[in-house]
Amino acid sequence: MSTNFSELIKTGYQTRSTRRKSINVLMLSLTALATLLALIPLFWIVGYVIYMGAPSINLDFFTQLPRPVGMEGGGVLHAIQGTLIVTVLAGLFAVPPGVLAAFYASRYPNTPLGIALRFSTDVLSGVPSIVIGLFTYALMVKPMGHYSGLAGGVALAILMLPTIIRTTEEMLKLVPHSLREGSLGLGAPEWKTSLSVLFPAAFSGIVTGFLLALARAMGETAPLLFTALGNERYNVNQIVTSGLQGKQSAFQILQRVLDQPLDSLPLTLWKYASQPYPERVAQAWGVALVLMIFVLFVNIIARVWIESRARKLRG
Amino acid sequence: MKRTQTLSEISPPPRLRQLFQHGDMPWQIMLVLVSILVLVLMLAIGWMLWQTSVDARSAFGWSFLAPTADASWDPVNDQFQAWPFIYGTLLTSLAAIVLAVPISLGIAIFLAELCPAWLRTPLNWLVELLAAIPSVVYGLWGLFVFLPTVVAPLGAGLATLFEPIPLLGALFTGPIPLSGASRLGAALILTVMIIPTIAAVSRDVLLAIPPAQREASLALGSTEWETIWQVLIPYGLSGILGAIILGLGRALGETMAVTMVIGNSIESSASLLKPGYTMASIIANEFAEAVTKLHSQALIEVGLALFVMTLLLNMLARFLVWRVARKTPQEARV
C-alpha cells in the first residue's frame, strides 16, 4: 500500500516534471524565435533597398539637379545640399542649449527644476514629429509668411534636443566624482570645473550622442513637410555664384540660402515614391539607399564609440 | 599702503567678485535659464497649437472629437469632424501593440536572460538598428514590397476566416484592396517599428531586477521559464507596462510610414482590411494644401489632440518605469 502510494506520487511527479521541463524548453525557444522574427524585416528591408537602390546610384545622382519629370538621368544634388543645410542648422540650434541643460540636469538632478527638466526632456522625446512640424509652422512659417530652410532647421533642432540632453547627461554622470572634486579642491570655480574638466572628459560621449541625434534628424520627414516644404529648383551653387557676382555680402548670401523652401533627402524620397514615373521611383530607391547607408553608418560608429568610451570611464 | 593699492589694481573690487562668486553666478543663471527654456518649449508646443486652432475649436466644439458613424470631413463646405482619423489611429496602434507585445517580450527575455554573452552585443545592436531605419524607408519598402507580398494575401485570408464570426467580423470585413493598402498594412508596419522600443525598455527593466530574485526562485526548484514568468515579469510588471505604453505613444505619432501604406481614404467602415487615415497621416497629407483657414485650423486641432494623447501616455509610461527604478536598490542593480 505504502509502496504503491509512493510510486503513485513518483509517477505523478515525473509526468509533472517532464511537462514543466518541456514547457520550459518550448517557451525559451519561442523567445529565441521572436528575436529571429524581429530581425527578418531588418534584413529584408536592408537587402531590398540595396538591391533596388544600387542601380540608380552613379556620379550624376550626387552631382546633378533633377531633370523635368519623364526624363531619364539627373540627380538629387538639391536634396543633398538641403539635408546638409537643415541638419547643420539643427545642430547649431540644438547643441548649445542641449549641453547646458544637460550640465544642469547632471549637477542638480534632485532640485525641483532638475526633476522638471528631466521629466520634460522625457516627454519632449515622445512628442510626435508631425506635431513638432505643426508647432514650428505656427511659430515660424506663419509669422514669416513663407516656408524656409531656417524653419526646417528649427523643427529638427526641437526634435534633436531631448536626445542631446539625455546622452550628454548620461556621459557627464559617468565622469568620476574625484575629477570634479579635485578641480574644486584646487580652487577652480564651478563653471571652470564644468567647462575645462567635466566637458573634455565627457566630450567624445557628447559627440556620439550628437551624432545619434543627427542621424535620427537626418532621416525625419514629418517635421519638414510644413517647414522646409521642398523645392526642386533649389541650387546653392547658383545662389552663391550669382551672389558673388552681384557683390552681395556673406550675410545676404546666407540669407538667400536659408530663407527659401528647400528639399531634403527624406522629403524627396516621399515625393518621388508617390509619383507615377518609373525613373522617379527608381531614384526614390536610390535616395533610400543613400539615406539608409548614412544613418546606419553613423549609428554603428556612434555605438562602437559609446561602448568603448563607457568601458574606459567605468575602468 | 602701497602694496594694498597694487593688489586692488590687479584684482577687481572684492564686492563685485563676491557678488559673481568667481563667475559661478552667471554660469548658474545661464544653466537655470536654459533649463527653463526646455520646460517652456514643451508648454509652448501645447499653447501654440491651442492658440492657432481657436476658430476650429469654437466652431465645432467637442463634437469635433466625438465618435460618430457618419463623420464629415468636407473642406469645401467647411465641415470637419475628426472621428475617422481618431478611430484609424486607435485601431492601427492597438492592433500593433497586440502583435508587438509578445514578440518584444520574447526578445527582451532572450536578450536579458538567455542569450549567450558573445551574442548579446550584436543582437542588441541589430534590434536597435531596426529603430534607426528612417520612417520613409519603412514606408517605401512597405508600399512596394510588404503590401503586395504579405499584407494583401494575409488580408484575404483573414477576411475568409473571420468575417462570418458575428462581432469580430466587423473588424475583418473584406475584401482588402488589391494593392494591400489598408489599416492592416499600417498596423503591421507599426508593429515592426515599435518592437525595438518595447524590447529595449523591457530588457532594461529585466536587467534591473536584482539577481537574488532569480537565485531564490531557481533554488526553490523552478524552471527557468517559471522563474521568468512567475517571478521576474511580475516584479518588473509596471516597468514593462511603461515600455508598452511608450511603444503605444510611438505608434500613435508615427507619420510617414503609415501615410504611405494606409491608403488614405475616409472610410466609414470599421474594418482593419479597409484603407483609412490616421491623425498623423491626415495632417501630413492635407496640411500643406489646406484650402481654407478653418481647414488648416481643424488639422492643427487634430495635431493638438494627438499631442495631448501622447503627452498623457508618456507621463504615465515614465511614471511606471520610474517606479521600478525606485523600487530596486542602487547597489543591487549592478
Is the per-residue pLDDT at B129 higher than 60? Answer: yes
Residue in chain A closest to B127 (alpha carbons) equals A39
Is the per-residue pLDDT at B4 higher than 60? Answer: no
Residues of A in contact with B196 (CB under 8 A): 38
Interface of B with A in 189-208 (CB under 8 A): 192, 195-196, 199
Contact A198/B at CB under 8 A: no
Interface of B with A in 261-320 (CB under 8 A): 280, 283-284, 287-288, 299-300, 303, 306-307, 310-311, 313-315, 317-318
Is the per-residue pLDDT at B158 higher than 50? Answer: yes
Contact B155/A at CB under 8 A: no
Residue percentage of chain B with pLDDT more than 90: 56
Q: B14 and B75: one domain?
A: no
- The answer to whether the CB of A48 falls within 8 A of the CB of A292 is no
Check residue B328 and give its pLDDT: 60
Q: Which of A22, A39, A48, A127 is the best residue to mutate to test the B interface, defined by the most B CB atoms within 10 Å of its own CB?
A: A127
Per-residue pLDDT reduced to its tens digit, B291-302: 788 999 999 999
Q: Which of B126, B256, B333 is the best residue to mutate to test the A interface, defined by the most A CB atoms within 10 Å of its own CB?
A: B256
Residues of A in contact with B249 (CB under 8 A): 126
> Under an 8 A CB cutoff, do A28 and B225 touch?
yes
> Under an 8 A CB cutoff, do A161 and B134 touch?
no
Q: B105 and B203: one domain?
A: yes
CA B7/CA A185 separation, integer angstroms: 24
Q: What is the average per-residue pLDDT within B7-13? A: 55
Contact A284/B at CB under 8 A: yes
> Under an 8 A CB cutoff, do A220 and B134 touch?
yes
Structural domain of B211: 65-333
CA B29/CA B26 separation, integer angstroms: 5
Residues of B in contact with A129 (CB under 8 A): 253, 255
Q: B43 and B117: one domain?
A: no
Q: B75 and B34: one domain?
A: no
Beta-bridged to residue B276, according to DSSP, are: B263
Per-residue pLDDT reduced to its tens digit, A118-139: 889 988 998 999 999 999 999 9
CA A90/CA A155 separation, integer angstroms: 8
CA A227/CA A267 separation, integer angstroms: 11
Given the C-alpha cell 514568468, which residue does it identify? B229
Of B21, B38, B256, the CB nearest to A121: B38
Domain membership flag for residue B145: yes
C-alpha distances in Å from residue A155, one per residue of A227, B36, B213: 7, 19, 46
Is the per-residue pLDDT at B330 higher than 90? Answer: no
Total structural domains in chain B?
A: 2
Residues of B in contact with A303 (CB under 8 A): 125, 128
The amino acid at residue B273 is L
Domain membership flag for residue B260: yes
pLDDT band per the 50, 70, 90 thresholds, residue A3: low
**Domains of chain A by residue range:** 78-314
**pTM for this structure?**
0.90
Residue in chain B closest to A194 (alpha carbons) equals B27
Residue in chain B closest to A135 (alpha carbons) equals B45
CATH of A78-314, one of 1.10.3720.10, 3.90.550.10, 1.10.1380.10, 3.30.540.10: 1.10.3720.10
Q: What is the average per-residue pLDDT within B140-164? A: 92
Instruction: Report the Cα–Cα distance between both ends of chain B, in Å, rounded.
Output: 61
Q: Among A51-60, B1-10, B304-313, which is the least confidently predicted range?
A: B1-10
pLDDT band per the 50, 70, 90 thresholds, residue A268: very high
Contact A303/B at CB under 8 A: yes
The residue that leads in pLDDT, B34 or B13, is B34
* Three-state secondary structure call for residue A262: strand
Q: How many helices (H) and strands (E) does chain B have?
A: 17, 2
CA A85/CA A37 separation, integer angstroms: 38
Nearest CA-CA partner of B123 in B58, B203, B41, B230: B203
Residue in chain B closest to A216 (alpha carbons) equals B132
Host H or E run for residue B79: strand B79-80
Q: B160 and B207: one domain?
A: yes
pLDDT band per the 50, 70, 90 thresholds, residue A94: very high
Nearest CA-CA partner of B128 in A294, A265, A216: A216
CA A158/CA B274 separation, integer angstroms: 35
Cell triple for B161:
476566416
Check residue A290 and give its pLDDT: 93
CA A142/CA A134 separation, integer angstroms: 10
Check residue B128 and give its pLDDT: 86
Residue in chain B closest to A215 (alpha carbons) equals B132
pLDDT band per the 50, 70, 90 thresholds, residue A160: very high
Q: Which of B17, B25, B28, B31 is the best residue to mutate to test the A interface, defined by the most A CB atoms within 10 Å of its own CB?
A: B31
- The answer to whether the CB of A149 falls within 8 A of the CB of A86 is yes
Task: Say how many C-beta atoms besides its own lie within 10 A of residue B61's C-beta.
Answer: 10
Domain membership flag for residue B57: no
Alpha helical stretches, state H, B110-151: 117-132, 135-141
Is the per-residue pLDDT at A84 higher than 50? Answer: yes
Q: What is the average per-residue pLDDT within B194-205? A: 93
Of A100, A114, A123, the CB nearest to B311: A123
Instruction: Report the Cα–Cα distance between both ends of chain A, in Å, rounded.
Output: 66
Domain membership flag for residue B59: no
Contact B171/A at CB under 8 A: no
CA A310/CA A170 separation, integer angstroms: 10
> Under an 8 A CB cutoff, do B223 and A21 touch?
yes
Per-residue pLDDT reduced to its tens digit, B224-264: 999 999 999 999 898 899 899 989 999 999 999 999 999 88
DSSP string computed for A16-27? HHHHHHHHHHHH
> Under an 8 A CB cutoff, do A303 and B128 touch?
yes
Of A45, A100, A127, the CB nearest to B31: A100
Nearest CA-CA partner of B257 in A289, A269, A247, A72: A269
Contact A161/B at CB under 8 A: yes
CA B327/CA B239 separation, integer angstroms: 11
Q: What CATH number is given to the structural domain containing B186?
A: 1.10.3720.10
Q: What is the average per-residue pLDDT within B269-297? A: 90
The average confidence (pLDDT) of chain A is 88
Residues of A in contact with B330 (CB under 8 A): none
Residues of A in contact with B195 (CB under 8 A): 38
Q: B170 and B297: one domain?
A: yes
Q: Which residues of A118-146 are buried (b: 16+ CB within 10 A; e: fewer)?
A: bbbbbbbbbbbbbbbbbbbbbbbbeeeee
**Min CA distance, B173 vs chain A (Å)?**
27
Q: B70 and B183: one domain?
A: yes
Is the per-residue pLDDT at A241 higher than 90? Answer: no
Check residue B334 and give its pLDDT: 34
Q: B200 and B152: one domain?
A: yes
> Under an 8 A CB cutoff, do A44 and B145 touch?
yes
ipTM tops the 0.85 cut: yes
Q: B6 and B79: one domain?
A: no
The residue that leads in pLDDT, A266 or B72, is A266
Residues of A in contact with B132 (CB under 8 A): 215-216, 219, 295-296, 299
Q: How would you classify residue A58: left for phi > 0, otherwise alpha for psi between -120 and 50, otherwise beta?
A: beta
Domain membership flag for residue B224: yes
Q: B76 and B118: one domain?
A: yes
Q: B249 and B187: one domain?
A: yes
> Under an 8 A CB cutoff, do B199 and A303 touch?
no
Contact A119/B at CB under 8 A: yes
**Min CA distance, A32 vs chain B (Å)?**
6
CA B21/CA A176 separation, integer angstroms: 25
Q: B71 and B47: one domain?
A: no
Interface size, chain A vs chain B, as Cβ–Cβ contacts under 8 Å: 261
Nearest CA-CA partner of B186 in B258, B95, B93, B285: B258
Contact A228/B at CB under 8 A: no
Interface of B with A in 18-37 (CB under 8 A): 21-24, 26-28, 30-32, 34-37
Rank A63-77, A257-271, B92-106 by mean pLDDT and report only the highest.
B92-106
The average confidence (pLDDT) of chain B is 87
Q: How many residues does the structure list for chain B?
A: 334
Domain membership flag for residue B60: no
